[in-house]
Amino acid sequence: MSTTQTSLAEAEAYPMTELRRPRPKDAEASPVEDAPTDVDIARSEPATPFLKLIVAGYSFFCAGVNDGTLGPLIPYIISSFGIGTGEIAIIYGTTFAGWLLAAVTNPIMTAHMTLGQLLGVGAVLQLLAHCLRPWSPLPLFCITFFLQALGMAYQDSHSNTFVSGLKNVPHRWLSFIHACYALGCFIGPLIATAIATSTNTMAIDGWKRVYLVLIGISVVNVAGVVVAFRDSLWSRLNAAPTTTDTVLRQKRNRAAMTDMARLLKSKTLWLISMFYFFELGANFTAGGWVVEFLTTVRGGSLSAIGYVPTGFYGGMLAGRLLLAEPTFRYGEQRMLLVYSVLCIALQLVFWLQPNIVGSAVALSFIGFFTGPFFATGMSVASKLFPRESQPAALGFIFVLAQAGGALFPSITGLIATNAGVAVLQPIVLALFVVGGISWWLVPKVQQRNE
């Protein structure tokens, strides 16, 4: 792919902020429309498309490592802070608050900041969260998950939108970056369990050393954004005088709010969002609470059960790598419905048979069949919304999906305070059922003219 193609793809993915719309020849000149954009500045020194794709994938890898470490660490967090499952729900609650704030602020930030700046803010927020965790008391420890979620929302949602706008089979590039997330989730439990159970870290706070590794990973993330997206990181959306700046900001605010208000009336937007909301809720609830469930309810050994999420996320990684092409070839909407039915059946197997090994195998296959969900759903969504609405629409869907991934584990923790962790199974099953119904109601993709 040429550098010019990448610049155009990036501009198409962010039309409200990075592409100056053509004006009829007889129209009056407008300082707002004529102000140089970051695309004009970026063309003087564009980054290579390959490097941008690698950095976008790495941002998802960082998010995956963060999400993959939490589940195996929950028993250690409970023991270290002397809390119960209800307090663990606070961690997921602050995560939900971060994604919720991102849903509100994303349209405004997109209207005022370039792609590189949005990614940079997200990467720095995630680094800050990891830097605070090894030395945090419980209240600050919970707040770090708010910062982490906010940073992930800004970086990953815009990386996702950028990649979905690329030419040359974007569904493959989407599969790549979401496979990177699954790879991070796969590695996360290995890192967390190995460090938390090692003999030289058996002190009560030894598990916090896991976050020293995540600090190093996040530093590389920040450096990657600075290098790969430097063409838009240091530029401004508008280099005109102050008066024009004010007019431009007001116009962008109105445009962002008007576009978002119109999108929020779209039935399609809500159906796809609900699919992600419930499906990611099922994934994060299963992956986050499975260690506590298998040790408390099934009587498993913590040192061994800590690796069970690795099978789940390993299945997810394999699904994102192996099922991407068959899903695209045989119909994205049809195949995701089939995968939803299979996940429901496997969740019943996990719930109804008491064997720990059988449960771990069923969980791994659930991860495998949920693997294509995210990339395929985003590919379908990119075809259902016009190009100029994609940044707002895909960003909203992405953020609401992650909000579901934070809300339902929190609800599970609160219910488990009184009912026990056994409530995990019916909750996850219900989430898969409702998510599958939401996807079944999504309108069929219509061919549109670009």
Choice between 338 and 21, residue whose per-residue pLDDT is larger: 338
**259-278 in b/e burial notation, b at 16+ Cβ within 10 A?**
bbeebeebebbbbbbbbbbb
pLDDT range class, residue 230, cuts 50, 70, 90? confident
CB within 8 A of 118, min separation 6: which ones?
109, 110, 154, 155, 158
CA distance 266 to 436: 19
Choice between 402 and 343, residue whose per-residue pLDDT is larger: 343
- Residue 237's pLDDT is 53
CA 319 and chain centroid, separation: 17
Portion of the chain with pLDDT greater than 70, in percent: 80
pLDDT range class, residue 7, cuts 50, 70, 90? very low
pLDDT at 378 over 50: yes
Residue with tokens 């994604």: 99
- Residue 80's pLDDT is 85
- Structure confidence by residue, pLDDT tens digits, 145-177: 999 999 998 998 888 888 877 766 566 787 788
pLDDT at 276 over 60: yes
pLDDT at 207 over 50: yes
Q: In the predicted model, what is the mean pLDDT of the chain? A: 78
- Structure confidence by residue, pLDDT tens digits, 59-118: 999 999 998 888 888 888 888 888 887 788 888 889 888 888 887 888 778 778 888 999
Mean pLDDT computed over 210-224: 94
- Residue 36's pLDDT is 33
Residue ranges of domains in the chain: 42-441
Mean pLDDT computed over 234-260: 60
Choice between 262 and 20, residue whose per-residue pLDDT is larger: 262
Cβ pair 159, 121 in contact under 8 A: no
Backbone phi, psi, residue 199, to 5°: -65, -30
pLDDT range class, residue 245, cuts 50, 70, 90? low
CA distance 33 to 248: 9
Residue positions counted in the chain: 450
pLDDT at 443 over 70: yes
Span of 162-171, 221-230, 300-309, 337-346 with lowest mean pLDDT: 162-171
Least Cα distance to 57 among 166, 213, 191 occurs for 166
- Residue 246's pLDDT is 58
pLDDT at 126 over 90: yes
The third-level CATH classification (topology) of the domain covering 42-441 is Growth Hormone; Chain: A; (1.20.1250)
Cβ pair 315, 367 in contact under 8 A: yes
Q: Is 36 exposed, middle or buried (0-12, 13-18, 19+ CB in 10 A)?
A: middle
- Residue 39's pLDDT is 30
Cβ pair 427, 335 in contact under 8 A: no
Angle at CA 118, nearest 5°, toward 113 and 124?
135
Cβ pair 299, 182 in contact under 8 A: no
CA 37 and chain centroid, separation: 28
- Residue 220's pLDDT is 96
Q: How many CB atoms lie within 10 A of CB 301?
A: 10
Best mean pLDDT range from 30-34, 49-53, 128-132: 128-132
Q: What is the CA radius of gyration of the chain?
A: 22
CA distance 65 to 68: 5
CA distance 375 to 147: 25
Choice between 329 and 58, residue whose per-residue pLDDT is larger: 58
- Residue 49's pLDDT is 76
**Phi-psi label, residue 442: left if phi above 0, alpha if psi -120 to 50, beta otherwise:** beta
pLDDT range class, residue 331, cuts 50, 70, 90? confident
pLDDT at 247 over 90: no
> Amino acid letter at 78?
I
Q: Which helix (H) or strand (E) holds 291?
A: helix 267-296
pLDDT range class, residue 226, cuts 50, 70, 90? very high
pLDDT at 417 over 50: yes
